[in-house]
Protein backbone atom coordinates (compact mmCIF):
# COMPACT_ATOMS: atom_id res chain seq x y z
CA UNK A 1 0.00 0.00 0.00
CA UNK A 2 1.16 3.55 -0.75
CA UNK A 3 0.16 6.48 1.39
CA UNK A 4 -0.70 9.60 -0.59
CA UNK A 5 -0.48 13.04 0.92
CA UNK A 6 -2.17 14.39 4.00
CA UNK A 7 -5.52 12.84 3.17
CA UNK A 8 -3.95 9.43 3.96
CA UNK A 9 -5.78 7.79 1.07
CA UNK A 10 -4.31 4.46 0.05
CA UNK A 11 -4.05 2.62 -3.25
CA UNK A 12 -4.15 -1.12 -3.79
CA UNK A 13 -0.76 -1.75 -5.36
CA UNK A 14 -1.18 -5.53 -5.44
CA UNK A 15 -3.34 -5.31 -8.59
CA UNK A 16 -1.48 -2.45 -10.28
CA UNK A 17 1.42 -2.88 -12.68
CA UNK A 18 4.64 -0.96 -12.11
CA UNK A 19 3.74 1.87 -14.51
CA UNK A 20 0.35 2.35 -12.86
CA UNK A 21 1.99 2.39 -9.44
CA UNK A 22 4.38 5.13 -10.58
CA UNK A 23 1.58 7.17 -12.16
CA UNK A 24 -0.44 7.00 -8.93
CA UNK A 25 2.41 8.37 -6.82
CA UNK A 26 3.35 11.98 -6.18
CA UNK A 27 6.19 12.70 -8.61
CA UNK A 28 8.45 13.75 -5.71
CA UNK A 29 8.44 10.11 -4.56
CA UNK A 30 9.64 8.77 -7.92
CA UNK A 31 13.38 8.46 -7.42
CA UNK A 32 16.03 6.65 -9.43
CA UNK A 33 17.44 4.36 -6.76
CA UNK A 34 20.19 2.93 -8.92
CA UNK A 35 21.30 3.24 -12.55
CA UNK A 36 23.90 1.72 -14.82
CA UNK A 37 24.49 4.31 -17.54
CA UNK A 38 25.61 2.92 -20.89
CA UNK A 39 25.71 6.20 -22.83
CA UNK A 40 26.44 9.69 -21.54
CA UNK A 41 26.61 13.16 -23.05
CA UNK A 42 26.12 16.01 -20.57
CA UNK A 43 24.04 13.52 -18.60
CA UNK A 44 22.70 9.99 -18.94
CA UNK A 45 21.38 9.06 -22.40
CA UNK A 46 20.76 5.31 -22.07
CA UNK A 47 21.06 2.53 -19.53
CA UNK A 48 19.20 0.52 -16.94
CA UNK A 49 17.66 1.77 -13.72
CA UNK A 50 15.65 0.76 -10.71
CA UNK A 51 13.13 3.22 -9.35
CA UNK A 52 12.91 3.14 -5.56
CA UNK A 53 9.12 3.21 -5.53
CA UNK A 54 8.42 -0.05 -7.40
CA UNK A 55 9.91 -3.52 -7.69
CA UNK A 56 10.98 -3.29 -11.33
CA UNK A 57 14.04 -2.69 -13.48
CA UNK A 58 13.78 -0.41 -16.50
CA UNK A 59 15.74 0.22 -19.67
CA UNK A 60 15.87 3.96 -20.28
CA UNK A 61 16.91 6.18 -23.15
CA UNK A 62 16.51 9.80 -24.12
CA UNK A 63 13.77 10.32 -26.70
CA UNK A 64 13.80 14.13 -26.75
CA UNK A 65 15.76 16.98 -25.25
CA UNK A 66 15.69 20.73 -25.09
CA UNK A 67 19.01 22.46 -24.66
CA UNK A 68 19.10 25.58 -22.58
CA UNK A 69 22.37 27.28 -23.42
CA UNK A 70 24.11 27.60 -20.06
CA UNK A 71 21.33 25.68 -18.31
CA UNK A 72 21.26 21.87 -18.06
CA UNK A 73 19.40 20.06 -20.84
CA UNK A 74 15.76 19.25 -20.16
CA UNK A 75 15.25 15.63 -21.25
CA UNK A 76 12.43 13.20 -21.83
CA UNK A 77 13.35 9.59 -21.10
CA UNK A 78 11.45 6.52 -22.21
CA UNK A 79 11.55 3.90 -19.45
CA UNK A 80 10.60 0.39 -20.62
CA UNK A 81 10.16 -2.27 -17.97
CA UNK A 82 12.67 -5.10 -18.23
CA UNK A 83 11.32 -8.61 -17.75
CA UNK A 84 14.39 -9.77 -15.77
CA UNK A 85 14.06 -8.33 -12.28
CA UNK A 86 17.69 -9.30 -11.59
CA UNK A 87 18.99 -7.30 -14.58
CA UNK A 88 21.09 -4.87 -12.51
CA UNK A 89 22.75 -7.72 -10.59
CA UNK A 90 23.51 -9.55 -13.83
CA UNK A 91 24.99 -6.37 -15.34
CA UNK A 92 27.06 -5.74 -12.19
CA UNK A 93 28.55 -9.21 -12.48
CA UNK A 94 29.27 -8.91 -16.22
CA UNK A 95 30.80 -5.44 -15.79
CA UNK A 96 32.99 -6.29 -12.81
CA UNK A 97 30.92 -4.90 -9.93
CA UNK A 98 29.37 -1.55 -9.16
CA UNK A 99 30.67 1.28 -6.99
CA UNK A 100 28.60 2.79 -4.20
CA UNK A 101 27.38 5.66 -6.39
CA UNK A 102 23.76 5.02 -7.38
CA UNK A 103 24.46 6.46 -10.87
CA UNK A 104 27.25 4.30 -12.32
CA UNK A 105 28.94 4.80 -15.67
CA UNK A 106 31.02 1.64 -16.28
CA UNK A 107 34.29 1.99 -18.19
CA UNK A 108 33.42 -0.90 -20.53
CA UNK A 109 36.90 -2.39 -20.09
CA UNK A 110 37.16 -6.19 -19.90
CA UNK A 111 39.89 -8.69 -19.13
CA UNK A 112 39.36 -10.46 -22.48
CA UNK A 113 37.27 -10.55 -25.63
CA UNK A 114 34.94 -13.26 -24.29
CA UNK A 115 34.02 -11.13 -21.27
CA UNK A 116 33.22 -8.19 -23.52
CA UNK A 117 31.10 -10.38 -25.82
CA UNK A 118 29.21 -11.69 -22.80
CA UNK A 119 28.47 -8.12 -21.59
CA UNK A 120 27.44 -6.99 -25.08
CA UNK A 121 25.09 -9.98 -25.47
CA UNK A 122 23.61 -9.43 -21.99
CA UNK A 123 22.85 -5.77 -22.70
CA UNK A 124 21.33 -6.60 -26.10
CA UNK A 125 19.22 -9.37 -24.58
CA UNK A 126 17.94 -7.16 -21.76
CA UNK A 127 17.03 -4.39 -24.21
CA UNK A 128 15.29 -6.89 -26.51
CA UNK A 129 13.21 -8.08 -23.56
CA UNK A 130 12.32 -4.63 -22.26
CA UNK A 131 8.82 -4.96 -23.58
CA UNK A 132 6.94 -4.34 -20.38
CA UNK A 133 5.06 -1.23 -19.37
CA UNK A 134 6.49 2.10 -20.51
CA UNK A 135 6.62 5.49 -18.87
CA UNK A 136 8.03 8.82 -19.98
CA UNK A 137 10.06 10.67 -17.38
CA UNK A 138 11.08 14.30 -17.62
CA UNK A 139 14.38 14.97 -15.88
CA UNK A 140 17.61 16.89 -16.27
CA UNK A 141 19.94 14.14 -15.02
CA UNK A 142 17.78 11.33 -13.55
CA UNK A 143 18.66 12.42 -10.02
CA UNK A 144 15.38 14.33 -9.79
CA UNK A 145 12.20 13.41 -11.66
CA UNK A 146 10.20 16.46 -12.77
CA UNK A 147 7.21 14.70 -14.38
CA UNK A 148 6.01 11.24 -15.36
CA UNK A 149 3.52 9.93 -17.93
CA UNK A 150 2.37 6.37 -18.65
CA UNK A 151 2.43 5.58 -22.37
CA UNK A 152 -0.55 4.06 -24.08
CA UNK A 153 1.22 2.34 -26.98
CA UNK A 154 3.87 3.09 -29.55
CA UNK A 155 5.63 6.41 -29.31
CA UNK A 156 5.96 8.67 -32.33
CA UNK A 157 8.45 7.83 -35.09
CA UNK A 158 8.30 4.11 -34.39
CA UNK A 159 10.18 4.23 -31.10
CA UNK A 160 8.93 1.34 -29.02
Q: Could you give the CA distance from residue 50 to residue 85 in angstroms, rounded to a whole number?
A: 9
- Helix, strand, or coil (residue 33): strand
pTM: 0.82
pLDDT at 16: 75
Contacts of 127 (CB under 8 A, 6+ apart): 59
Residue 19 CA, chain-centre distance (Å), reads 12
Q: 104 versus 3: which is more confidently predicted?
A: 104
DSSP class of residue 155 equals: P
Q: What is the mean pLDDT of residues 32-56?
A: 91
Nearest Cα to Cα of residue 160 among 129, 114, 137, 115 = 129
Residues 114 and 121: beta-carbon distance below 8 Å: no
On the question of pLDDT at 148 being above 70, the answer is: yes
**How many residues are given for the chain?**
160
For 38-101, the DSSP string reads EEESSSEEEEEEEETTSS-EEEEEEEEEEEETTEEEEEEEEEEEES-TTHHHHHHHHHT---S-
Q: What's the mean per-residue pLDDT of the chain?
A: 83
Amino acid sequence: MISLGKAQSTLRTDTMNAAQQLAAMPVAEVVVDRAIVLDWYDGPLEGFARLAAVEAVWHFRVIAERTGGDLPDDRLYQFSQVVATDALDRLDEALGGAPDDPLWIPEWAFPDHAARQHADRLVADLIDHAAGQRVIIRSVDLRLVDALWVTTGKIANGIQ
